[in-house]
Structure 1
Amino acid sequence: MRIAISYDTIQEYILENDLNESDSIILHPADYDNLAAEYAEENNIMIFRSFEILGIQVIEDTEDEVKKNQIMVVQMDTF
């Protein structure tokens, strides 16, 4: 699924797809960087590693598997 990645769209995606704490979201590095910057600004914090939105871990794709504007969901025990 390809969508414009933002803090709001990730929250909507999590809720619409009923994700839980055993799921992780993996994003293209450019999308991850943009989302991390927006998340940090929204929450007035600095991010040094992966972070969580609504209890779901958001991870940067380091394996070059996720295309830009795409969301990959994996189970934590398989990652």
Structure 2
Amino acid sequence: MEKITYDGMRNFIIERELTDSVALSLHPDSFDDLVMDYLDINGNQIERPFEILGIEILQDNTGNVPKNLVQVLDMVG
């Protein structure tokens, strides 16, 4: 995936038929890019937790997720 955008993330979720049993983790730079795009589209308003189509979007703080890639995390215990 190139630079991560709101539309790109929506398509990623829809194409993979993801449900709220997962969360998506992004590299901090990619997370920032997505948040900025989201704010532009939604009039500078953002929900907490940050979700797109009911899927929580998290910032990776472990250094494990490369820039411009998405890690799918299983949220079911």
TM-score w.r.t. structure 2 length? 0.88
Give 5+ residue unaligned stretches, structure 2: none
Residues 48 and 8 from structure 1, CA distance in 2 versus in 1: closer, same or farther, beyond 3 angstroms?
A: closer
| Runs of 4+ more than 6 Å apart | none
What does 1:56-71 correspond to in 2, within 5 Å?
Answer: 56-71=55-70
Number of equivalent positions: 76
Following the alignment from structure 2 to structure 1, what is the Cα–Cα distance between the partners of residues 37 and 18?
A: 21
Aligned to 2:51: 52
Q: CA deviation at 1:41?
A: 1.6
User: Secondary structure, in 3 states, of the residue corresponding to 2:71?
Assistant: strand
Which residue matches 2:39?
40
- In the superposition, the TM-score normalised over structure 1's length comes to 0.86
Secondary structure in 2 aligned to 1:58? strand
Q: Percent of pairs identical after alignment?
A: 37
The structure richer in helix per residue is 1
The C-alpha deviation readout for 1:19-59, integer Å capped at 9, x for no partner, is 00111000000000010011112111344864000100000
What are structure 1's unaligned runs of at least 5 residues? none
Cα distance in 2 for partners of 1:28, 1:50 equals: 17
In the alignment, the residues of structure 2 paired with residue 50 and residue 65 of structure 1 have an alpha-carbon distance, to the nearest angstrom, of: 21
